[in-house]
Structure 1
Amino acid sequence: MKKIGLLLLVVVFTISCKNEPKKDVQKEKFPEALGKVFDKHGGINVWRKANTLSFNIGEESHTVDLHSRKTVVHSPKYSLGYNGKDVWMVRQDSTAFKRDPKFYYNLYFYFYAMPFVLADDGISYEDASPLVFEGKEYPGIKISYASNVGTSPDDNYYIYFNPETYQMEWLRYSVTFFSKKTSEKFNVIRYNDWKTVDGLLLPKSITWYQKDEKGLPTKPRGTATEFTLAIVKEAKLQDAFFEKPSQE
């Protein structure tokens, strides 16, 4: 089934290879340090030229239009997605998926597409205190969103990077999707396993960490989440790809 899905994706890429006008990325303004992080990971210009990102987590395949953020997640037991207007879901049975599809459909895309999703419109940047782990300090940048951006504009992200290489190392983030209120409770993810995919340095795996009383990471909270079968393409998928499939 995975091979068939990958073949279908390649076919769709081939028949719909159209490029849309791109932003003049030279005019975009980021903190100098964040610009260096983008450069370390392949460059914001390379990211902006791409139209489609695809990756797997276990049996789930995730495919995203990088400009409209239309999304499809397929697995043997369920499918869900966002067609640009509505979030939809198809289950093989009622027990197949218990999460909220509106929360889940783009959850792993944001984790996987770090650090480049931090170049989205409507973002504000601030310097943040360094994160300390095993005696080493990682400089930080706080990312917050305008009130009209996304379904959870009160979420805050903190990216931390290696001060010598500018490679991303850590992410702290809050979740406000359910409460709709600003939260001081943060999760921590370590990014220390990377792979070059079509010119971009993207995570091969990520690991959630436990925290001490100061909110600093201590040890892994569980096994790493692994990403496989990654593809980044300038080809644009047809809109029909992201529509809810027939259940006949």
Structure 2
Amino acid sequence: MKRVFLLLIIAMIVSCKNEAKKEVSKKGADKEIKKENFPDELGKVFQTHGGIDIWRKAQTLSFNKGEEVHTSDLHSRKIVINSPKYSLGFDGEEIWLDAVNSGSFKGNKDFYYNLYFYFYAMPFVLADDGIIYEKVADLVFEETSYPGYKISYQANVGTSPDDNYIVYYNSKTFQMEWLAYTVTFKAKKPNDSYHMVKYNTWENTNGLFLPEEITWYKIDETGMPTVPEGPATKFTLPLISEAKLADSFFEKPIK
């Protein structure tokens, strides 16, 4: 509960600072601009969702999935998930779990701790360093075509460098519409078995459009989505801030 209150305080402080700031500082205006390596089309997708510059200035991201509160440091990628029955996270070195009892958390902490961070931080995590981009064939759903780019990773980048993603977007608005992804957790080699997620609705959170509801879809023999696998997954209470949380926030609680 203290963690949640801290996030609310951060949000209020940042909001007040933004209201009081009337002029944009010119300090650092002459600094060298980072050259992006993502395709122009994906650049338009990022811009439609608020802009890559705003994303990179942010330090803290938080959202709720049911009773879970997911909080991330966007630069170090430290993460903590708090719920009434368990907490788990990554403190920069160790993936930890703190549960009320042995049956409180039934998943695999190493797989789960950053799973929904990636789904929620779309499309911006597709601009991380070490990414390789490749144009792919359009996804076709209900007679509408969605252009796409495959995202793969250079060797030894991230926790699962053999994972692949494909982002599909609206050709007119450049809004992200679909995500295809593979799972190689604990596997010794990559696979071509994709899962498919539809991004149903988006929410404006401090200038960035982040997902509000996503749905997993079944796919046919051609790899195209058909019908939902189940109910939509909903995200609530979004927060994104330029304020940085202390490293201790992401550490396993001491009892």
Q: TM-score range by the shorter chain?
A: over 0.9
Q: Please name the residue that 1:9 is paired with.
A: 7
Query: Shift of residue 10 of structure 1?
Result: 3.1
The answer to whether the 8 A contact 1:143-1:157 is kept is: yes
SS of the aligned residue for 2:93 comes to coil
1:50-89 matches, within 5 Å, as 50-89=58-97
Query: Shift of residue 8 of structure 1?
Result: 2.4
The alignment covers a number of residue pairs equal to 240
Q: Specify whether residues 77 and 103 from structure 1 end up closer, same or farther in structure 2 by C-alpha distance, changes over 3 A only.
A: same
SS of the aligned residue for 1:214 comes to coil
Query: Shift of residue 213 of structure 1?
Result: 1.1
CA distance in 1, matches of 2:9, 2:252: 19
CA distance in 2, matches of 1:183, 1:30: 24
Say if 2:186 is the partner of 1:191. no
Query: Shift of residue 144 of structure 1?
Result: 0.1
Q: Please name the residue that 1:131 is paired with.
A: 139
SS of the aligned residue for 2:42 comes to helix
Q: Cα deviations across residues 188-215 of structure 1 (Å, max 9, x unaligned)? A: 0001211101100010010000111111
Q: Cα deviations across residues 102-142 of structure 1 (Å, max 9, x unaligned)? A: 11100000000000000001100010110000111100000
Say if 2:124 is the partner of 1:116. yes
SS of the aligned residue for 2:71 comes to strand
CA distance in 1, matches of 2:33, 2:153: 20
TM-score normalised by length of structure 1:
0.92
Q: Please name the residue that 2:21 is paired with.
A: none
The answer to whether the 8 A contact 2:3-2:249 is kept is: no
The answer to whether the 8 A contact 1:53-1:66 is kept is: yes
The answer to whether the 8 A contact 2:10-2:241 is kept is: no
Query: Shift of residue 184 of structure 1?
Result: 1.0
CA distance in 1, matches of 2:151, 2:144: 22
Query: Shift of residue 54 of structure 1?
Result: 0.2
The answer to whether the 8 A contact 1:207-1:220 is kept is: yes
Q: Cα deviations across residues 83-103 of structure 1 (Å, max 9, x unaligned)? A: 011111101011011211111
Question: Structure 2: where are the runs of 5+ without partners?
Answer: 18-27
Q: Specify whether residues 71 and 25 from structure 1 end up closer, same or farther in structure 2 by C-alpha distance, changes over 3 A only.
A: farther
Aligned alpha-carbon RMSD (Å): 1.8
Q: Please name the residue that 2:35 is paired with.
A: 27
TM-score normalised by length of structure 2:
0.90
CA distance in 2, matches of 1:56, 1:232: 12
Q: Please name the residue that 2:225 is paired with.
A: 217
Q: Percent identity?
A: 59
Say if 2:107 is the partner of 1:99. yes
| The one of 151, 159, 167 aligned to 1:159 | 167
CA distance in 1, matches of 2:55, 2:194: 27
